[in-house]
Amino acid sequence: MSIPPYLPRILFITPDVIFFPENCQADNTARSVESGKKIDFFANLVKELNQLGFDIHMAQPEYRKLFSFFSARDDRSGCSDIPRNRLHLVRDRIFYYADDIDVNRDGENIKISIALQREIIHDLIPMIQPDLIHCYDWMTGLIPAAARFLGIPCLFTVYDIRSKQVPLSRIEDMGIDAAYFWEYLFYHRMPVCYEETRETNPVDLLLGGILAADYVNAASLGFASEVLICQTGDDKTALRQLLRAKCQRGCVSCKYKGSPDTREYIDIYNALLN
C-alpha cells in the first residue's frame, strides 16, 4: 500500500443505514449502526480511510424511522470518526418511513433505489465533485453508468447476486434523466435504440453496475465464489459471462476476507486514479 501525496475525494454511496447523525461526543459526529457483517464491512472501511486522511463523503438515505430506533437504544459505544458534515443524507419521503431494506418488499426497494440515485446523480455528484465514486450493490447500479459518462472512476462493490429489472421509462418517470448514459447499462436483451429500449427492454441494475464500473470487487464469500466460477467454468449465465469479460481485463477482484483490507482498497483507488 502506498498512500498518495494527494488524498482523493471519495464519494461512498449505499442504500443501507451505515451511519446516523447524533451528538455522541463533544464534536458533531455520526454514529455507525454496527448491526451485522454487511454493514460493518462498509462502515469499517469508511472509518479507516477517514482516519488516514482521505477526503471521505458518505451518501445514504435519510431513514428517519430507523434513525429514531437507533437513537433510542441504550448502547452509546459506537461513535465513529466521521464528521457530521461528511455524512450526506439523501431526502425523499420514500425513505422517511421505510424499514430496513432487507425486509422491505421488492417494489419498495426499487423506489428507494431510484430516489436515492436520482438525488445523487442530479445534486450530490455536482456538489461534491468527487475524484472517485465507490458504490455498493444493485440499488446503486445506475451510478457507475452515470459516473462513466461524467468521466469519474467508479468502484462497484457487490455483496450478493440479487438484482432487479426496471424499464428506463420508470426510471425516467421517477426523475432520473437516463438518456445521456443509457448506452452504458445492461438490458434484458440486446438494445436496438433508445426509443425501442425505453419501454420494452428493462435495465438489470446489478449487471448494469458491473458492466459500467471501472472495477468490481466482492464483499461476501458468495459473490467471490461467483467470480471464481466464471473464471473456471463454462456457465452461460449473463452474470458469469459479464464477470468473465471483466476478469480478462483485470477489472475484478474475488478476494474476500470477512472484513475490508484497507490497504487493498487504497491500491485499487490508486490504480483507478492513475
Longest dimension (CA), the chain: 58
pLDDT of the residue at 103: 67
Q: Which domains does the chain have, with CATH numbers?
A: 9-273 (3.40.50.2000)
Asked if residues 242 and 226 have their Cβ atoms less than 8 Å apart, the reply is: no
14: Cβ–Cβ under 8 A, 6 or more apart, which residues?
42, 58, 59, 60, 135, 136, 137, 140
Low-confidence ranges of the chain (pLDDT < 70): 1-6, 22-38, 73-81, 103-104, 233-234, 255-260
pLDDT at residue 79 in the model:
47
Handedness of CA 173, 178, 183, 186 (dihedral sign): negative
Task: Please state the pTM of the whole predicted model.
Answer: 0.88
Residue 102: the pLDDT is 73
Residue 245 contacts by C-beta under 8 Å, 6 or more apart in sequence?
A: none
pLDDT digits (tens, 9 = 90+) for 72-121: 765 444 445 577 788 899 999 999 988 877 766 778 899 999 999 999 99
> What's residue 174's pLDDT?
95
Q: Residue written as cell 430507523?
A: 66
**Confidence at residue 47, expressed as pLDDT on a 0 to 100 scale:** 83
Alpha-carbon distances, residue 96 vs 64, 91, 160, 179, 252 (angstroms): 5, 8, 26, 29, 35
Q: What is the pLDDT of residue 170?
A: 95
